[in-house]
Each structure stands twice: as C-alpha cells, then as structure tokens.
Amino acid sequence: MNDAVRSREVRAELEVTERPVIDKTMTAEEACRLVSDGDHVAIGGTCYSRSPMALVFGLLRAERRHIAVSRPLSCYEIELLLASGTADRIVTSWVGIGLRWGLPRVLRHYVEHGLAVYEEWSHLAIGLRYKAGAMGVPFLPGLSMLGSDLARAVQLKTVTCPYTGDQVAALPALNPDVALIHVHRADRHGNSQVDGYWHMDADMARAARKVVVSAEQIVPDDEIKRRPWTTMLPHFAVDAVVEAPFGAYPAECYGLYEADFAHFDHYVEQVRQGGADGARKYVDENVRAHADFAAFLREVGDERLAALGEGARRLMPA
C-alpha cells in the first residue's frame, strides 16, 4: 500500500518546510487554492458536527477534479463533492445524515454505477490511520476489523507482535494532502482552539501536509493565551486561517449552535426528487449562486441562525 511509503516522504517534506509565524488569514476561496486536482482532502468534524462547511463550499467553488475525500463519518457534504464532479473516491466508515433521512441516494448512485469508489474502514481504523499519520509512524496496531469482510475488501494486513507473538491488524498511516478543519477560535497565526469534543481533528490535521482552519472567530493573540488548554492545533501546524462565523452550518458547532435538521430535510427532498441532479441543484442554489459563505448565510437568515444558537445554549451545562 502506497500510504506506508508516504509517511516517510511527508516527514522529510515537513523537515525542510519553513513555518514562519505570520498572518495566515485569507478567504475560503484563497485557502482552497491549496488543494490541487487529485489530492486527498480530509474533512474535519464528524457527520453533522463541526463540519467545515464554509471550506467545503470553498472547495466546491474551486472546481477541482479527482479528489479523494476522507472523514470519520460522512454526511451530505460527500454527496455534494461527488455530484459536483469534485471527488471520485471516499475513504470513510459511514455515509448518511442520520436514521430519519434514510440511505444516501447520491452515494448509492455513484458507487453502484462504478462512478466513485467507497473505501470503507471501521470508525476506529480511520482514527488509527490518522493517528499513525499524526505520529509519523507507518502504521499502528489495532484489534478491530479482524475477521471481517471489511478487512478483505481493503486488503488489510496483520502483523505479529515481536514480543508476544499476538496477531494484530496493521492500520496504515493516512497522511492527507490537505485537511479542512473548523474550530471555535483561532488567532491570525493559526493557533486554533476547540470547545467540546475534538472528533478526530487533532490527529487528522497533524497528519496532513497542509491544514486550512476556519474559525467562528479570529481572536487577538493574547486571547489564545487565556485558555491554552483548549488549543487543539499550534500555529506551526496550520497553513491558512479563514474567519467563518456559523462556518459549520448546517452542521452544529458545540456550545454555539445546533444542526439545522430542516435544511437536511430540504436537501434530502431535493435528492429524492432529482437524484444526483437534486444535489447539483443544491450546489447551484446554495454555493454557486452566492459570492461567498456569508452570502449563503444571509439567505438562511439571522432569525433561523439565532434559533439554532438558542437550541445549543439549552443543551449546555448550567
């Protein structure tokens, strides 16, 4: 598997990369120029939690081709990337929105017709693959996926522990070309802070060759030092910083806003009626019709966003 060779290459590359402490703020569209055709792009968050939607919309605008996408659990953004012609390979453990929205129809169309490849790993396997990438080692041992057809389908190898003789799964490092991550706060240099669960973002970003962070808020440098224990990524592991309030919408951002289920209902209905064309229509109407993510949010409306904020506050510890 090529991934194993790659862990040495990305380490060597990082050693000779200058990492000056400079202002890295830019627009989502500028940041997405870091993505080239054929790249592997890891998308932070999981399912509809802290998804970097402002950046995904930026990537859709960039109109790249033959992108491979990885994510722990994938939501409707994967379908947008498939239907728009951006991605043709996905590496994940699950695709859907949630039980009430049924099977992902666009994914089904692309995979069942051989138009895209779904490389399925277990949820922990994806996590250990990013972690191996983040640790700079070619693989990590793990105890799941063994015996399953998942293992056969991805030609998972096992290794023998040199100390005990135990057979364990060898999960190959995954070092994405670019990671797209959404956080609560960042400073202009890239120090990035997250409240609540981190999903797999810390490992995913550290494994990646380039990291784009979008933040609810760009804060003054001193603000970061007030809560250093919430810093998930240090400045030297971040290449671009994009200010994006409500940048995870329609996904949630812990403590700030809940996911907008009505928006997913609307998307699923559009796909139910039009299949992949329904997803392309969604991209036309919600991404291409607007100059940027802020313009899309204006159409969503302040009232709706405020209600999602209220929902989130109700769920926070007193």
Considering only residues 3, 36, 39, 94, which one is a binding residue for other proteins as defined by CB under 8 A? 94
Query: Does the footprint of other proteins cover residue 182 (CB under 8 A)?
Result: no
Choose between 32 and 128: whose C-beta lies nearer to other proteins. Answer: 128
Considering only residues 252, 283, 287, 296, which one is a binding residue for other proteins as defined by CB under 8 A? 252
Q: Are 17 and 11 in contact (CB under 8 A)?
A: no
Three-state secondary-structure class, residue 17: coil
Choose between 107 and 244: whose C-beta lies nearer to other proteins. Answer: 107
Torsion of CA 25, 75, 117, 210, to 10 degrees: 20
Q: Are 178 and 209 in contact (CB under 8 A)?
A: yes
Query: Tokens 């890295």, residue?
Result: 24
| Chain centroid, CA 188 distance in Å | 21
Tokens encoding 155: 């030609």
Choose between 131 and 182: whose C-beta lies nearer to other proteins. Answer: 131
Orientation angle between helical segments 123-135 and 2-15, nearest 10 degrees: 40
Count Cβ atoms below 10 Å from residue 102 Cβ, excluding itself: 11
Q: Are 94 and 74 in contact (CB under 8 A)?
A: yes
Query: Does the footprint of other proteins cover residue 76 (CB under 8 A)?
Result: no
Query: Does the footprint of other proteins cover residue 20 (CB under 8 A)?
Result: no
Number of residues that bind other proteins (CB under 8 A): 69
Binding mask 193-222 for other proteins (x = CB under 8 A): ---xxxxxxxx-------------------
The stretch among 147-155, 214-222, 233-241, 278-286 that binds other proteins (CB under 8 A) is: 147-155
CA distance 255 to 18: 35
Query: Does the footprint of other proteins cover residue 307 (CB under 8 A)?
Result: no
Choose between 28 and 259: whose C-beta lies nearer to other proteins. Answer: 259
Three-state secondary-structure class, residue 133: helix
Which residues form the interface with other proteins (CB under 8 A)?
46-49, 72-73, 92-96, 98-105, 107-108, 111-112, 114, 118, 120-125, 127-128, 130-131, 142-150, 152-153, 158, 167-169, 196-203, 252, 254-255, 258-259, 261, 312, 314-317
